[in-house]
Amino acid sequence: MLAYPQIDPVLLALGPFQIRWYGLAYIVGILAGVRMAKPSLQGLGLSNDAVWDLPTYLIIGILLGGRIGYVVFYDAAYYLAHPLHVISVWEGGMAYHGGALGAVAASWLFARRHRIPILPLLDVMGWVSTIGIGLGRVANFINGELVGRVADVPWAMIFPNNGDVARHPSQLYEALGEGVVLFALLSLIRRSKRLIPGQLFGTYLVGYGVIRFGLEYFREPDIQKGFVLAQLSMGQVLCSLMVVGGVGIISWSFLRRLKETR
């Protein structure tokens, strides 16, 4: 068993003002992603100012979507009984799948405003979003949240406030799988000269869905939700829908290209 590293979730505190690793992961992930995507975004006809307008859309979309997703997908009964707590984001509670939907909605609004095609934009956003996802999972580990299931592997850890049993460091598994591995896979596919608009984004949805579905077997289901369908967690159910959506987008993109070439 490895010792869990006691890292303060607060990076910097100045009176009531705090900079937390979790919030920093969001900001750095979005800014780094947009910086990496800049050449591709400018290739769509966006000016430098327009490119750096995108993070504002994404931050708002991810925050709103992530919070609404958590309320709806993971604890709807509680928030129906305590509706004012919906806005209590400082108490925690963000959902990746809700944040992803919020990012897609934000990207759609951005594309409409700047009159660029949505699918190439989503292709780029899916690729670079893996940076923020990986950093976010590391921040989850620092916070000691979203812990793994009980395990007896040599690298298991005892997380604070989660009993005296050793658990999988599933946050690090997800940082590696959803962040590093998925980024490398999409970067490799992106090199193909035969890519069509929507194919990379659809691949991102399928790739994330499959990787997260498998890693959920190492992650403790949310205590207020448990298993929702047989022995599947809510995360696995939502990832299954992601895979279906990704396959649908890839198929639609190919059919669209086929019609255009006739």
Q: Report the distance separating Cα 65 and Cα 93, nearest Å.
A: 11
Rounded mean pLDDT, 238-258: 94
pLDDT of 224 higher than 80: no
What pLDDT, in 10s, does the model give residues 51-66?
999 999 999 999 999 9
Residue 245 buriedness (CB in 10 A; 0-12 / 13-18 / 19+):
middle
pLDDT of residue 105: 97
Please check whether residue 34 lies inside any domain of the structure: yes
Rounded mean pLDDT, 177-197: 94
Rounded mean pLDDT, 116-127: 96
Rounded mean pLDDT, 208-225: 93
Between residues 182 and 161, the one the model is more confident about: 182
Please check whether residue 82 lies inside any domain of the structure: yes
Rounded mean pLDDT, 150-178: 95
Burial 144-163 (b: 16+ CB within 10 A, else e): bebbbeebeeeebbebeebe
- Range with the lowest mean pLDDT among 11-20, 63-72, 158-167, 202-211? 11-20
Beta bridge partners of 14: 17
Rounded mean pLDDT, 198-209: 97
Residue 92 buriedness (CB in 10 A; 0-12 / 13-18 / 19+):
exposed
Rounded mean pLDDT, 5-24: 88
pTM of the model: 0.92
Please report which helix (H) or strand (E) contains residue 19, including its range.
Answer: strand 17-20
Between residues 215 and 226, the one the model is more confident about: 215
Q: Taking all residues of the chain, what is their mean pLDDT, rounded to a whole number?
A: 93
Please check whether residue 4 lies inside any domain of the structure: no
Please check whether residue 5 lies inside any domain of the structure: no
Structure tokens at 93: 């509670």
What pLDDT, in 10s, does the model give residues 67-120?
999 999 988 888 888 888 888 776 678 899 999 999 999 999 999 999 999 999
pLDDT of residue 212: 97
Q: Count the domains in the chain.
A: 1
Please check whether residue 91 lies inside any domain of the structure: yes
pLDDT of residue 51: 96
pLDDT of residue 14: 85
pLDDT of residue 229: 83
Q: Which of 122, 17, 115 has its CA nearest to residue 61?
A: 122
Q: Answer whether 205's CB lies under 8 Å from 249's CB.
A: yes
Q: Answer whether 37's CB lies under 8 Å from 124's CB.
A: yes
Please check whether residue 167 lies inside any domain of the structure: yes
Please check whether residue 177 lies inside any domain of the structure: yes
Please check whether residue 1 lies inside any domain of the structure: no
pLDDT of residue 84: 84
Range of the structural domain that residue 230 is part of: 10-261
Q: Report the distance separating Cα 128 and Cα 35, nearest Å.
A: 9
Query: Which residues have C-beta within 8 Å of that of residue 30, sequence separation ≥ 6?
Result: 55, 58, 59, 62, 132
